[in-house]
Homo-oligomer: A and B are copies of this chain.
């Protein structure tokens, strides 16, 4: 279904039509007139980058085999209708919101925080900054993305883009598929072992940069041994979101991609399984 020629077609279409966007990022009121009470409007995104010519899927496939945080149930998928008996195939799902590759909304750790449907759609399209900490994970499964790692990233790639999502690439993501027990990392004492974000790194991003989200290729923003989730408790109540169980970060560029977070819009949700598509420039 990948069709040659469409790139040129779309470019030609774009050259024929310009969509009026007011200087504040909103479409002119007359253009947005609608009888719908659920008024939408086009909002300025966190990036005007492009053009993009390819896409990288950063999403794990969710099934009952996908590892879960200890204590959480796995997704249940059951037949609801079949082509043979009903004329169409349809299944039912029973799952907790934080299953598979998923988003943590601010309300996950703050009763007055935004739930999924209240997150600004403009923040769901964000420049992606990937911080590689695979070298230190070779020495410790409990390694964290530190303030120094962020400085080193900026020294190489420039200042973290405003409105970005900062992703930890620890190399741990592959274990979700190859070795789910290692991915969870539960030792004989019940302590978990996997990489995460350092609290001082998260604090610096809040105070010194303008970042909309964090992403990790592990089960949790906080590393495995954490018992009180300091990064969750700092980051989410600040009005920012987190992404966990992110896939394929080994194939994402350190800078230059734009992440689109396909977040199902369920009312009151504290999080949701998402589709993460990284748009790559040609």
Residues of A whose CB lies within 8 Å of any CB of B are 1-7, 9-14, 16-19, 21, 25, 27, 31-32, 34-38, 40-63, 73, 75, 77, 80, 83, 87-98, 100-101, 107-111, 117, 120-125, 127, 157-159, 161-164, 173-174, 177-178, 210, 212, 229, 232, 239-240, 247-248, 250-251, 253, 255-258, 260-275, 277, 279-282
Contacts of A12 on B, CB cut-off 8 Å?
Answer: 158
Complex Cα–Cα for A241 and B59 (A): 19
Contact B6 A127 (CB under 8 A): yes
Contacts of A19 on B, CB cut-off 8 Å?
Answer: 253, 256-257, 280-282
Q: How far is the CB of A223 from chain B (nearest CB, A)?
A: 17
Contacts of A240 on B, CB cut-off 8 Å?
Answer: 1
Closest B residue by C-beta to A171 = B35
Contact B3 A46 (CB under 8 A): yes
Closest B residue by C-beta to A93 = B95
Closest B residue by C-beta to A31 = B251
Contact A248 B40 (CB under 8 A): yes
Contact B55 A121 (CB under 8 A): yes
Contacts of A251 on B, CB cut-off 8 Å?
Answer: 27, 31-32, 34, 40-42
Given contacts A49-B11, A52-B45, whether A62 and B255 have CB atoms under 8 Å apart is no
Contacts of A122 on B, CB cut-off 8 Å?
Answer: 1-2, 54-55
Complex Cα–Cα for A248 and B59 (A): 27
* Residue contacts A-B, CB under 8 angstroms, 17 given: A1-B123, A1-B239, A12-B158, A13-B161, A16-B255, A31-B251, A36-B250, A43-B55, A48-B52, A62-B265, A83-B110, A88-B109, A89-B107, A91-B96, A91-B268, A261-B262, A263-B275
Closest 9 CB pairs of A and B: A262-B262, A50-B50, A7-B48, A50-B51, A6-B162, A63-B267, A36-B174, A6-B163, A40-B248
